[in-house]
Amino acid sequence: MVVSALLLMNSTSVNSLMAQSKQPTGKPATAGKPATAGKPVATTTATAVSPETTKANSTMLTDSAEVILPTDTIFALQEKLMGHTSSTESAAISPNGKWVATGGWDRKVLLYALDSNGVFKLSQTFTGHNGAVTCLAFDAQSTLLASGSKDFSLRVVDVATGALKFQTMDHKDAITAVEFDAAGKFVMTASVDGTIRLYDVANPTNNQKPRVYSYGKPVNDLLTAPNGKTFYIANNSNNDVESIDFTGRVYQRFVGVHTMPVNCLALSNNKRLLVTGGNDKSVVIWDIATGKPLKTMLGHTWKVNSVSFSRNDQYLVSTGNDGEVRVWDVNTGACVSVQKNLITTAREAVFTPNMKRMIVAGKMVAQGSTYGAVVYTTPPIWHRAKPKPVKPAPVKPVTPANKPAAKPTPKR
């Protein structure tokens, strides 16, 4: 997640394990009924649409035309990232794909490095928080790691050296979201205390005058909108997602589908789609340009904790308190795979940038006293090299056999 113009102001490999899969049903996804209109605001309001309208509006949600086949839905267990002494709550992957960070109820942040064999090895352990680590984020350059906690604190460390670069405890309740700006200079946080704060982590002395917006409702998740001037907020007081700025002005609302508060948000890499997951067990894909819902995906039996797109925006992973990790085809809305054999409460799942692995953090099935995260390899077709197009050989013009040869022009 990136804040852009707004902020200018030992693990071992294990045998492959066949994951449980669900195949596409072919049934169109449906959206809920529109909510009752509230007070007029200068917004774009999302309204529910019928299955027929949904199909017409979202025949192709991404730029990719590849279709998932039944044989392409197998996720295999690669390894387990051990090291925590209690359940994991959060996970993040660096943009360069070289680092994985996990945060847990043991108040630790573990940093794993990808070795030459494609296996993640524990590199560093960061301590300092006095509560569960609820959220993690790398900067765009993969050099800094920010962590938010239930102890109200934000910590930023240098990935290479492990040095603490910045910390604060300004919030009055648990931090629920954290993200960097594109330059890695600023960090934005959101909290259950209903505030959103902006910190200059490059020049801490600039934080003498705090940049804070009092939203007034407990914030479940936050991310920056594609315009770089506003940010999306999911709160625990209603079923809406709002796009606002630091003055509180509402630019856009996504409403009419979720029937309970939204827990998590994610943006597609092409910045065209917003996905939301809620307490109502649903996952909804929205068209950012129109603010309308495109797909509503059902299947989770408890609240949805996280949502995340693959790099090519063709796939979407969601996690739930039911322990299920569901992978969806963004274009069809079909659930193509379900993993639920190792996690009892799936808190967060993310794909590596090359789409070869999926990391899942959560409460693991009792296996001695081991806690951590699970790494799955994705279906081979996801990262199989596409054949290079063959250029056709140039065709030489041929004179028709029945065409008489031209007679020479007589000289005068």
CATH of the domain at 127: 2.130.10.10
Q: How many helices (H) and strands (E) would you count in the chain?
A: 1, 29
Tokens of 306: 């996280």
281's CB contacts (< 8 A; 6+ apart) are 298, 299, 300, 301, 302, 303, 304, 320
- Structural domain boundaries enclosing 298: 2-382
The total of other beta-carbon atoms located within 10 Å of residue 310's CB is: 23
- Classify 189 as helix, strand or coil: strand
The answer to whether position 401 is within a domain reads no
Residue at 54 is within a domain: yes
Positive or negative: CA dihedral 76, 82, 86, 91: negative
Rounded CA separation 28/19 (Å): 25
Residues near 27 by Cβ (< 8 Å), separated by ≥ 6? none
Under 8 Å between Cβ of 126 and 140: no
Q: What is the pLDDT of residue 17?
A: 32
Nearest CA to 356 out of 381, 332, 323, 378 is that of: 378
Who's near 250: CB < 8 A, 6+ residues apart?
A: 41, 42, 43, 242, 243, 244
How high is the pLDDT of residue 402? 58
| Closest C-alpha among 23, 93, 106 to residue 310 | 93
Give rounded-to-5 percent helix, strand, coil for the chain: 5, 40, 55
Cβ atoms 302, 294 nearer than 8 A: no
DSSP state, residue 204: G
| 307 in Cβ contact with 276 (< 8 Å) | yes
Structure tokens at 94: 């660096």
The answer as to whether 310 is a domain residue is yes
Domain assignment present for residue 20? The answer is yes
412 residues of the chain, pLDDT tens digit each: 445 444 444 333 333 333 333 334 444 444 444 333 333 333 343 333 333 333 334 435 665 545 555 556 788 889 889 889 888 999 999 999 999 999 999 999 999 998 888 889 999 999 999 999 999 999 999 999 999 999 999 999 999 999 999 999 999 999 999 999 988 899 999 999 999 999 999 998 888 877 999 999 999 999 999 888 899 999 999 999 999 998 899 999 999 999 999 999 999 999 999 999 999 999 999 999 999 999 999 999 999 999 999 999 999 999 999 899 999 999 999 999 999 878 888 999 999 999 999 999 988 765 555 678 999 999 887 766 555 666 666 766 655 555 555 556 666 5
Cα gap 260→351, rounded to integer Å: 27
CA distances, 116 to each of 124, 160, 360 (Å): 18, 18, 22
- Whether 407 is in a domain gets the answer no
Residue 389 covered by a domain: no
Residues whose CB falls within 8 Å of the CB of residue 368, separated by 6 or more in sequence, listed in order: none
Alpha-carbon gap, residue 347 to 135, rounded angstroms: 10
Q: Answer yes or no: is 398 within a domain.
A: no
- Which helix H or strand E contains 12, and what residues bound it? none
**Edge-to-edge order in the sheet of strand 99-104:** 88-93, 99-104, 109-114, 120-126
Gap between the Cα atoms of 299 and 16, Å rounded: 25
Q: CB of 388 within 8 A of CB of 96?
A: no
Compute the distance between CA of residue 86 and CA of residue 105 in angstroms, rounded to an integer: 6
Domain count for the chain, please give it: 1
Note whether residue 281 is domain-resident: yes
